[in-house]
Structure 1
Amino acid sequence: MTLGIPLLTRKAVILAGVQSGVGVPATLSGSTDAIQATEPDYSIDPSLLERKFTSADLSPFPHLIGRKLASIKFTNEIRGNGIQSSGLLADAPKLTRLLRGCGYVASAMSGDDGDSVAPVIADSKNPANTPAITWVAGGDLGAGITKPVLYTITKGATSTIVITNNDNEVDSGAGSATAIASGTPLTLSTASGITLTPTFTGSIPTGAVFYVLVLPKGIKLKPTSSGQELLTIEAYFDGLKHKITDAMGSFTISAEAGGYATIEFTFTGSFHDVVDAALPSNPVYETQIPQQVELGNVTWGGTDGVVVQAFTYDQQNTITPRPDINAKDGYKGSRITDRQPSGKINPEAALEADIPFWSDFADARPKHFVMQVGTTVGNQVCFHGPVVQTSQLAYGDRDGIRTLECDILFKRNQGDDEFNLYFC
């Protein structure tokens, strides 16, 4: 037999689609399901069934292969598709379907009735006598909100509060003092068009601070603990077709100043026989160009303008196989049974009077984290951790400038909300 020409590493196509249920593979097409990916890889985790008979010699007997778990890994650029800013779920980028396979649920932010407003977060340093407050967002998003804006609500010495934001270029209408009363709608700013109605008993003490993130129209991704979705993924490697179904996965994010932000996925699912198959002809990809990591408006607690060179995030989903004697290979897909999201930032060191990194760490004081990648409408992705704690803190050096190496953990606020992504 004469072998043909070698298979080329660069010639590969990845297709991915969301299944309608367990054991119901999605039908994939190069025209609708092609995913731009770098360094795709495929592997199998087999269960070797050894046959350890006694015999007249010590030579091992041939083994059998039992359960086979298949995995596909690849990396994507973090970017939008140019149209998700319509606020329609049908216009979601393909990247969101991969996140859905990692235990996230997608919903539309139309800008109406406060649906593009994240839950209000109370500052961790608020006075002990600050009452519990229920905030209800309303109003229709103003046309001037074209990128994420974080508002800070500060209670003054009188019955008034002052509202500021982290980007006066977007919304210069904030900053005036206004009264606050339980049950009375509070206008964040004329430009935002958003109202917040607080309900509380008693009075809000002087110095209490609250934060609320307002997003443009787009798509919201938040983690879910029920109704998680499964993917079908096909990887074509220059003539070989690898397919996994009932797949679930996890991901890591890397973003460095001046570079492109990337997200690496690893999916595990049911093995299918590898077959010879031609690459899908003329696959259709999203063509939006990623933006470099700049103008990220990184906010750590109540401080914006923190000088950070790099941010990483690890979803750390636990993917648990589901053994089933009724299923092929004795395996019926996977389930996400736990997640322990973590990350790292490396800000420049600061005086404690400016940013109390060390006391926040020592007191396990929660902070909230906001960062965006991209500044163009339709090509912005915002990361939001409402409750983030530092788990390790050490000094570093960046070209003679003292820095901090911060290991951070993302925790629940109301539940199923420890790390959210917004495409807008």
Structure 2
Amino acid sequence: MAKIESVEGTAETLANADGGILAIDPKVDVDIKMHARNPVMATLSRLADVAGAQLARLTFKVEIKGPGAAYSASVVPALAKYLRACGFAETLDVTPGSEKATYKPASTGAPCLTIGCYEDGVIKQLVGARGNVKFTGKAGEPVFAEFDFLGVWGGLTDGAMLTPTYESTIPPVFLSASFTIAAYSAILAGIDIDMANTLHLRNDVNKPAGYLSTVITNRDPNGKFDPEMALVATHDWYGRWKGGTTGALSLGNIGSTQYNRYKITAPKVVYRKVSDAEREGVVVADTAFQLAMNTGDDEVVLEFS
């Protein structure tokens, strides 16, 4: 469950309407800073530590899929608010018959979330949370968005399980993806794209947990894939790396059904490292890459249509 905060760092009340996402492997990791007290005394015994500032991380992953209905202000992918809290700006095109929802990186305006993790009648809460997202795809499987949120620890309470309406669409699988890099149709088994956001918790002595909220202070979008090695004349992996040559990346559409299909594009990909490897006896160019800006706030685009 998550809700965009109307006041930064102030917890929202969560309701059924704030659910709807099918989270996989959610895990909350609480960190309460414990401060040792070790004054000079006539004993080797220690005084009790003092509890201080309180933060928490929440990690989980979700299938990337659409809502199955025309996009509008009230109909967006279930993961939309989580993407926005990871620094993506949302743009909706509601042209009848060709509606779409587009997500691009933004340098300002990312909302923060109150997030509740419900575990058999116990609620773990993060407040003022923002995060990072990594997209991971393997051939023949659904593509996942892996989220890592950092926030103020909002405490542990007892509470009844909510009953949200979950997004019922079936996720499209990573097939017939029309993948190209620099106009070359590389043969690969999978791809990872990491927004690599830098997260910073804002200290605040006026708050009971010692923090106000998390902010995104930087990002370094990057990724990796494992294409089969090609002839130099076809695609010069090492030459492009050596020359710092940029090329556009295009992936998708993944899925063929309207309102449950999406594509990922990036205008300028730069190879950072190319290594010899093999995949079941096939030589591959194990490649790490940067997603660079074109005009700014456009390193990668996720478009649902």
Residue of 80, 92, 95 corresponding to 1:96? 80
Which of 22, 28, 32 is the equivalent residue of 2:14?
A: 28
Identity %: 28
- Aligned partner (choices 211, 231, 237) of residue 113 of structure 2: 231
Q: Residues 88-124 of structure 1, C-alpha deviation per residue, up to 9 Å, x if partnerless? A: 2321112111100101110112459xxxxxxxxxxxx
Q: Read off the aligned partner of 2:78 and give its amino acid letter.
A: K
- Cα distance in 1 for partners of 2:48, 2:154 equals 23
1:313 aligned to which of 184, 188, 193: 193
* Matching residue within 163, 168, 171 for 1:287: 168
Structure 1 residue matching 2:27: 3-state secondary structure: strand
- Asked if structure 1 preserves the Cα contact closer than 8 Å seen for 2:71 and 2:259, the reply is no
Find out whether 1:361 has 2:241 as its counterpart.
Answer: yes
Q: Residues of 2 paired with 1:395 and 1:357: CA distance?
A: 11
Aligned equivalent of 1:43: 29
In structure 2, the partner of 1:174 is: none
The one of 209, 219, 227 aligned to 1:347: 227
CA contact (8 A) 1:348 1:403 kept: yes
Deviations 1:24-58 (A, max 9, x none): 43332124423211111111122112111111112
Are positions 1:326 and 2:211 aligned together?
A: no
Which residue in 1 is equivalent to 2:142? Answer: 260
Deviations 1:194-223 (CA, angstroms, capped at 9, x unpaired): xxxxxxxxxxxxxxxxxxxxxx53101111
Paired residue secondary structure (1:384): strand
**1:330 CA displacement:** 2.1
The 8 Å contact of residues 44 and 68 in structure 1, kept in 2 or not, is answered as: yes
Contact 2:194 / 2:221 at 8 angstroms: preserved in 1?
A: yes
In the TM superposition, what is the alpha-carbon distance from 1:301 to its structure 2 partner?
1.0
- One-letter code aligned to 2:245: R
Structure 2 unaligned segments of length 5 or more: list them: none
- CA offsets per residue over residues 320-363 of structure 1, 9 Å max, x none? 01111222222111110011111111111111111122211110
Pairwise CA distance, 1:271: 1.2
Could you tell me which of 61, 82, 89 is aligned with 1:105? 89
For 1:57, the equivalent position in structure 2 comes to 43
Partner AA of 1:107 in structure 2: T
Aligned 8 A contact 1:89 1:107 in 2: no
Preserved CA contact (<8 Å) 2:55 2:209: no
| Matched length | 304
Match of 1:266, SS state, is strand
Report if the CA contact (8 A) 1:87-1:111 is conserved. Answer: no
What one-letter code is carried by the residue in structure 1 that aligns with 2:58? I
Secondary structure of 2:167's match? Answer: coil
What is the aligned partner in structure 1 of residue 267 from structure 2? 386
| Structure-2 separation of matches of 1:290 and 1:269 | 29
Aligned mates of 1:261, 1:344 — CA distance in 2: 15
Alpha-carbon contact 1:295-1:375 (below 8 Å) kept: no
The Cα offsets for residues 146-174 of structure 1, whole Å up to 9 and x where unpaired, read as xxxxxxxxxxxxxxxxxxxxxxxxxxxxx
Which one of 222, 230, 249 corresponds to residue 104 of structure 2? 222
Q: Tell me the residue number matched to 1:377.
A: 258
TM-score (norm. length: structure 2): 0.95
- SS of 1:382's equivalent in the other structure is strand
Q: Is the 8 A contact 1:50 1:62 kept in 2?
A: yes
C-alpha RMSD of matched pairs (Å): 1.6
Task: Please identify the structure whose Cα radius of gyration is greater.
Answer: 1
Aligned partners of 1:79 and 1:34: how far apart in 2? 13
Post-superposition Cα deviations, 1:379-411, rounded to whole Å, max 9, x if no partner, equal 112111111100000122122221110001111
Normalising by structure 1, we get a TM-score of 0.69
Alignment counterpart, residue 280 of structure 2, candidates 399, 408, 417: 399
> SS at 2:209's partner residue?
helix
- Where 1:53 maps in the other structure, the secondary structure is coil
